[in-house]
Copies of this chain bind each other. A is one copy, B any other.
C-alpha cells in the first residue's frame, strides 16, 4: 500500500510520500516513491507513485531514458525535455500506456492487475506551477484552487484533515505540517503505509527544490508532531459540550 499527497498552494508545491512496499504482510520493503527531475533555474518537477512497483519503476526509467511515441517508434522524448508542464504530464501518460503495451500479455497470463497512479507537479520557466494526478490509463486531472491538494493510494484516512485545514492561501509550511498530520493518520490505520517519509517542497518561481528530505523513524520533529496532534485531538473533543440527549451527568 502507499499514501502520497501533493499540495499546490499560493506560495508553492509540496509532496509527501511514504516508502513502504509490500507483497503481503510478510514481505515488506522500503522503496522511494517520491522522485525529482530538476534543472535548477530552468525547471523543477516532482513525481510520486502508487501501484505495482514494477510498473512504476518501468515508467520512471522510461521517463529518464526517453519515451517513444504511442506507436512505440522514435523520436524518444525525456521528461526533462518536455517544453511545458502540460506536455510533461502528457508524456508521463504516454509512458504509462507504453509500459502497458509491453507488459499486457505477461500481466494477463499471470492474472496481475496493471495498476499505477502518479502525482506529478512542478514548474517550467515562467509558466505557472501545476499539479496533476495521472491515472493508469494515462489520462490525468489537474489540481484546482478550490481543493488545492491531490492524493494517491490509501487516501481516505488522511482526507478529513486536508479538507478542513488546507486552502489555497495556506502558508506553504503549514500545508506541509497538515500533510504530515494526514500521513500520520493514514499510518496509524493502515500498516501498509509506513516510515520513512520523503518530503519535497518547491517555492513558486524558484525553479528548484527548497526542501528534499527523508524523515526517518525516530526523528524528533515528526515524533513530536504525532504526540502533539494526538493531545490536541483529545483536547479538541473535550472542548465540545456533552451531547444533550441523555440524562444530566451526575455531579
Establish whether residues A244 and B230, one from each chain, have CB atoms under 8 Å apart when the complex forms: no
Interface of A is mostly: helix
Ordered nearest first, which 8 A-B pairs have the shortest CB separation? A232-B236, A156-B156, A160-B185, A211-B245, A228-B240, A213-B245, A173-B242, A211-B246
Chain B binder among A28-36, A66-74, A175-183: A175-183
Which residue of chain B has its CB nearest to the CB of A221?
Answer: B244
Which residue of chain B has its CB nearest to the CB of A200?
Answer: B245
Q: Which of A116-167 contact B (CB under 8 A)?
A: 156-161, 163-165
Q: Bound state CA distance, A240 and B245, in angstroms?
A: 34
Q: A230-B164, A234-B164, A236-B229 are in contact. Are A243 and B180 (CB under 8 A)?
A: yes
Q: Which of A212-228 contact B (CB under 8 A)?
A: 213, 221, 224-225, 228
A232 contacts across to B, CB distance below 8 A: 232, 235-237, 239-240
Q: Which of A37-56 contact B (CB under 8 A)?
A: none
Q: Bound state CA distance, A122 and B233, in angstroms?
A: 29
A24 within 8 A of B: no
Q: Bound state CA distance, A169 and B61, in angstroms?
A: 53
Interface size on A, residues (CB 8 A): 48
Establish whether residues B188 and A163, one from each chain, have CB atoms under 8 Å apart when the complex forms: yes
A residues in contact (CB < 8 Å) with B: 156-161, 163-165, 172-174, 176-178, 180-181, 185, 188-189, 199, 201, 210-211, 213, 221, 224-225, 228-230, 232-247, 249
Establish whether residues A174 and B245, one from each chain, have CB atoms under 8 Å apart when the complex forms: no
Which residue of chain B has its CB nearest to the CB of A249?
Answer: B173
Establish whether residues A189 and B156, one from each chain, have CB atoms under 8 Å apart when the complex forms: yes
Residue in B156, B229, B235, B242 whose beta carbon sits within 8 Å of that of A237 in the complex: B229
A238 contacts across to B, CB distance below 8 A: 174
A188 contacts across to B, CB distance below 8 A: 160, 163-164
Q: A157-B157, A159-B189 are in contact. Are A181 and B221 (CB under 8 A)?
A: no
Q: Bound state CA distance, A164 and B226, in angstroms?
A: 11
Q: Bound state CA distance, A173 and B237, in angstroms?
A: 12
